[in-house]
Structure 1
Amino acid sequence: MNKSEIIEKIATDAGLSKADAGRALSAFIDLISTSLRKKKPVAIVGFGTFDVQKRKARKGRNPQTGEELKIKASIAPRFRPGKTLKDTVNK
């Protein structure tokens, strides 16, 4: 399912126009992105938690040349599904 399909489904289920559903989805994505940028987790009970994870600097290899390279430390977003979502998927 892509973004336009999600917008269409939200519009149909919530009785909104596609424009309103698109703005709502964009606001939701912006909210999550802004919170994660501030390193604050976003928890949706029954669905899951969005948070960030620190990755240490490490050594890697270029698979084509075998040359060793240094991978910088970074912060990566992650999603941990909640119990209700896991149960729904596993039915």
Structure 2
Amino acid sequence: MTKSELIARLAELNPHLYQRDVERIVTTIFDEIATALSRGDRVELRGFGAFSVKRRDARLGRNPRTGQSVDVSEKAVPFFKTGKLLRERLNTGK
């Protein structure tokens, strides 16, 4: 599901809201999650999951095309861990 599909679905489920308002709400939620992660905070949505930031150490990599060694700097990457309710919902019937 893309962001625009999510907005359309939420607008369909909430006919009392204008689509532009639903779009503003979804964009604000995503922006707040990104802002919190950039500050190094953890964002937890109970039953859904938790977003956090993990650090990858600097390392010596290899260019696959040339085989030449390349220094890869330290970086922060977003990480998502699913919540218990979401995992159970995905695994029902298996």
TM-score (norm 2): 0.92
In structure 2, what is the equivalent of residue 10 of structure 1? 10
Q: Deviation at 1:14?
A: 2.7
> Matches of 1:13 and 1:53 in 2, distance apart?
35
The list of structure 1 runs, each at least 4 consecutive aligned residues, that deviate by more than 3 angstroms after superposition, is: none
Query: How many residues in Structure 1 have an aligned counterpart in Structure 2?
Result: 91
In structure 2, what is the equivalent of residue 61 of structure 1? 62
Q: Deviation at 1:90?
A: 1.2
Q: Could you give the per-residue CA deviations for residues 20-40 of structure 1, whole angstroms, max 9, x where no partner exists?
A: 110000000011011001100
In structure 1, what is the equivalent of residue 87 of structure 2? 86
Q: Deviation at 1:3?
A: 1.1
The one-letter amino acid paired with 1:75 is: A
Percent identity of the aligned residues?
Answer: 37
Secondary structure, counterpart of 1:59 in structure 2: strand
> Matches of 2:38 and 2:14 in 1, distance apart?
30
Q: Structure 2: which 5+ runs fail to align?
A: none
The one-letter amino acid paired with 1:3 is: K
In structure 1, what is the equivalent of residue 30 of structure 2? 29
